[in-house]
Amino acid sequence: MKLACQEGLVPGRDLNEKLDNLAAWGYEGIEFWGGGLQDRVAEINAACARSPVKASTICAGYRGCPLDADAEQRRLAIEDAKVLLKVAADIGAVGLIFVPIFGGPRIPDLSPLGDPITLEKRLLVELCKVLGDAAAEAGSFLLLEPLNRYETHLLNRLDQAVEICRQTGNPKVKIMADFFHMNIEEQDMADSLRQNGEWLAHIHLADSIRWLPGYGHTDFRPGLAALAEIGFEGYMALECHVPGPPEQDLPKCAEYLRSQMP
Q: What is the pLDDT of residue 196?
A: 98
Place 36 in a pLDDT band, splitting at 50, 70 and 90. Answer: very high
Identify whether the C-beta of residue 7 lies closer than 8 Å to the C-beta of residue 250: no
Secondary structure percentages of the chain, helix, strand, coil, to 5: 45, 20, 35
pLDDT (tens digit per residue) in 56-95: 999 999 999 999 999 999 999 999 999 999 999 999 999 9
Give the end-to-end CA distance of the chain in Å, rounded to a whole number.
11
Query: For residue 186, which of 212, 163, 160, 209 has the smallest C-alpha distance?
Result: 160
19 CB neighbour count, 10 Å cutoff: 24
The CATH code of domain 2-260 reads 3.20.20.150
Q: What is the pLDDT of residue 231?
A: 97
User: What does the DSSP assignment read for 40-62?
Assistant: GHHHHHHHHHTSS-EEEEEE---
For residue 258, give Cα distances in angstroms to 5, 103, 250.
14, 35, 12
Q: Is the peptide bond before 112 cis (omega within 30 degrees of 0)?
A: yes
What is the rounded distance in angstroms from the CA atom of residue 14 to the CA atom of residue 190? 37
Catalytically annotated residues: 145, 239
> Please, what is the average pLDDT of the chain?
97
User: What does the DSSP assignment read for 115-147?
Assistant: -HHHHHHHHHHHHHHHHHHHHHHHT-EEEE---
Residue 115, judged by CB atoms within 10 A of its CB (0-12, 13-18, 19+), counts as middle
Place 21 in a pLDDT band, splitting at 50, 70 and 90. Answer: very high
pLDDT at 159 exceeding the cut of 90? yes
Q: Report the chain's C-alpha Rg in angstroms.
A: 18
For 224-245, what is the mean pLDDT? 98
For residue 254, give Cα distances in angstroms to 24, 80, 183, 223, 258.
11, 33, 20, 16, 6
Place 113 in a pLDDT band, splitting at 50, 70 and 90. Answer: confident
Identify whether the C-beta of residue 60 lies closer than 8 Å to the C-beta of residue 36: no
CB proximity list for 171: less than 8 A, separation 6 or greater: none
